[in-house]
Amino acid sequence: MLVTKKAPDFTATTVLADGQIVDNFNLYENFGENGTVLFFYPLDFTFVCPSEIIAFSKRVADFKERGVNVIGVSVDSQFSHFAWRETDVKNGGIGRVKFPLVADITKSIARDYDVLLDDSVALRGSFLIDKDGTVRHAVINDLPLGRNIDEMVRMVDTMLFTNEHGEVCPAGWTKGDEGMTATTEGVAKYLDSNEDKL
């Protein structure tokens, strides 16, 4: 389990958001001001994956305004990533998505994040990494189960809130909601005024 630990670093060949292919893309050098969302998907030119990737791309501005970069990873080559980006959405492609796609052809990154399935493809792993490299949130879905990208935006908000205020975020917390002091009194106070909303 990686939550509370430092995110494994990597340097790999990557297709950038502008379509340029670079061979020295480093995770830690590409953090946003407040961290990074690193997500794995099984394969290019598949089925659930494009819906997730397009959903992430449509929310890149939401992540960026929070100071968080988005990075995608699969075991495909940079050439496959590039070809998929150049394939129109109407033809099963992802179009020119607004974040980098890392080529993990050796499967070492998926292995380091413990999402490699049967030494074949990555499960749908999503990792929220704080600006200091600490993994704060992780969720791993089986291959048929698509992610909710809005939930990752919410988790970024919870991380930023706790980092700024030192309070904890109760169930269902969204930006603008009241936080909770992590004490017996804090829990009692929160539940007294919010129990009916849970």
Rounded to the nearest angstrom, the gap between the alpha carbon of residue 33 and the centroid of all alpha carbons in its chain is 15
198, two tokens: 């849970």
Dihedrals phi, psi of 116, to nearest 5 degrees: -75, 125
73, two tokens: 């990873």
Q: 156 burial class (0-12, 13-18, 19+ CB within 10 angstroms)?
A: buried
CA 193 – CA 180 distance, rounded (Å) = 11
Q: Which residues pair with 37 in a beta bridge?
A: 128
Q: 62 burial class (0-12, 13-18, 19+ CB within 10 angstroms)?
A: middle
CA 121 – CA 115 distance, rounded (Å) = 8
User: Known catalytic residue: 49?
Assistant: yes
The CA–CA distances, whole Å, from 70 to 21, 81, 153 equal 17, 16, 11
Q: In which element (H, E) is residue 101 found?
A: strand 101-103
Catalytic annotation, pick one of 2, 7, 37, 49: 49
Supply the residues annotated as catalytic. 49
